[in-house]
């Protein structure tokens, strides 16, 4: 248990038993609530700490609460959508969501043999479709990772953890802007390439483009070999910045699934699965407390836009 105890946004004590805790992240805690899961901000009571500790915790509490508000705004703007965890209710307390008891994709890959190619393709296409949808809603995701993909009973995947997203105003062209740390569409696509590689190779691969809140892209020869891999050329294009937006990436992926480019990948054309690419219009004009200031992309050669 955290020293000082956990509190609600109104200052009252957050009441739960340890058996209720599904997960605890950087800014939030997920608690079991019957058939659902409740995500709340990780807010620590300030009583019993020194003045210096109190100042740090106060800042952390404000940051954690702000991240939860961003996540609420993402659900308001982009949900419901097939590839996003079902949001039941948004309240002052937190976000009530569907509970998925099959765990996350990172643990599933670690503990299970690789499934058939059709299942891998389904997961890859679901991730592509979901990130594309979020970009259409003028949202940059940033934290695209296996641990943020939950498995349903039928082994569909649902994306969670949107507290580090960046929501831009609806009138902006997302391909031309970056946030204050340099995050762009191409940064999201790079991280999506990591996830696609992890599913196709059936091993976790992670490279953080923004380890020190500044853009750092690795030389392509430091990244894993893609030659024998399903979707290998697509992954490489994610990593070298060849896609200008998610529409281009999704079009490539759909061509691969239809078998048009299957021979180039060295794969049987019969691997194509029924892909659900349903789209939902985004409520980007709805209420949002987390609209970010956009910065033009620097194209001078030192840019984060590679």
Q: What is the per-residue pLDDT across 154-170, written as a single tens digit (0 to 9) for each? A: 999 999 999 999 999 99
CA distance 281 to 85: 17
Q: Does residue 229 surpass a pLDDT of 50?
A: yes
Q: Does residue 300 surpass a pLDDT of 80?
A: no
The whole-number pLDDT of residue 223 equals 78
How is residue 88 annotated by DSSP? E
CA distance 196 to 239: 11
Q: Does residue 282 surpass a pLDDT of 70?
A: no
The whole-number pLDDT of residue 225 equals 80
Q: Does residue 81 surpass a pLDDT of 50?
A: yes
Q: Output the CA–CA distances (angstroms, integers) from residue 38 to 20, 104, 171, 302, in the order listed.
A: 10, 17, 33, 42
Give the least confident one: 12-21, 87-96, 207-216, 280-289: 280-289
Tens of pLDDT, residue by residue over 6-24, are 999 999 999 988 889 999 9
The whole-number pLDDT of residue 216 equals 63
Residue 199: which residues within 8 A CB-CB, separation 6 or more? 105, 109, 120, 123, 124, 127
Greater pLDDT, 127 or 276: 127
Q: Output the CA–CA distances (angstroms, integers) from residue 41 to 6, 17, 55, 72, 214, in the order listed.
A: 9, 16, 18, 11, 26
Q: Which residue has the tokens 């992954």?
A: 235
Please tell me which of 196-200, 274-278, 286-290 the model is most confident about, judged by mean pLDDT. 196-200
Q: Does residue 76 surpass a pLDDT of 90?
A: yes
SS3 174: helix
pTM of this prediction?
0.86
The whole-number pLDDT of residue 209 equals 73
CA distance 233 to 265: 7
The whole-number pLDDT of residue 290 equals 59
Q: pLDDT band at 288, cuts 50/70/90?
A: low
Q: Does residue 5 surpass a pLDDT of 80?
A: yes
SS3 84: strand
Tens of pLDDT, residue by residue over 120-154, are 999 999 999 999 999 999 999 999 999 999 999 99
Six token digits for residue 271: 């691997």
SS3 124: helix
Q: Which residue has the tokens 């039941």?
A: 88
The whole-number pLDDT of residue 268 equals 38
CA distance 259 to 152: 28
Q: Does residue 286 surpass a pLDDT of 60?
A: no
Q: What is the mean pLDDT of the chain?
A: 85
The whole-number pLDDT of residue 114 equals 97
Q: Does residue 236 surpass a pLDDT of 80?
A: yes
């Amino acid at each position: 248990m955290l020293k000082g105890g956990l509190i609600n946004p109104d200052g009252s004590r957050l009441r739960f038993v340890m058996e209720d805790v599904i997960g605890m992240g950087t800014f939030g805690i997920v608690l079991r609530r019957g058939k659902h899961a409740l995500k709340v901000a990780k807010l620590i009571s300030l009583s019993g700490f020194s003045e210096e500790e109190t100042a740090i915790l106060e800042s952390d509490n404000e940051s954690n609460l702000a991240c939860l508000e961003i996540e609420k705004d993402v659900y308001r703007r982009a949900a419901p959508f097939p590839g996003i965890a079902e949001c039941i209710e948004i309240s002052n307390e937190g976000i009530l969501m569907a509970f998925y008891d099959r765990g996350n994709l990172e643990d599933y890959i670690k503990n299970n043999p690789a499934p058939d190619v059709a299942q891998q393709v389904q997961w890859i296409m679901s991730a592509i479709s979901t990130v594309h949808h979020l970009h259409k809603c003028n949202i940059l995701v940033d934290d695209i990772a296996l641990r943020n993909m939950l498995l349903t009973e039928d082994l569909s995947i649902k994306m969670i953890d949107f507290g580090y997203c960046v929501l831009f105003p609806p009138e902006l062209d997302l391909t031309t802007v970056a946030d204050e740390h340099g995050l762009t569409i191409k940064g999201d696509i790079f991280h999506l390439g990591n996830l696609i590689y992890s599913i196709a190779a059936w091993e976790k691969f992670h490279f953080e483009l923004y380890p020190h809140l500044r853009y750092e892209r690795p030389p392509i020869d430091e990244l894993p070999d893609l030659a024998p891999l399903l979707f290998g050329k697509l992954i490489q294009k994610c990593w070298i910045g060849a896609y200008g937006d998610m529409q281009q990436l999704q079009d490539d992926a759909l061509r691969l699934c239809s078998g048009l480019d299957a021979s180039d990948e060295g794969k049987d054309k019969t691997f194509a699965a029924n892909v659900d690419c349903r789209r939902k219009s985004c409520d980007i004009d709805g209420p949002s407390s987390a609209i970010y200031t956009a910065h033009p992309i620097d194209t001078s050669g030192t840019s984060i836009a590679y």
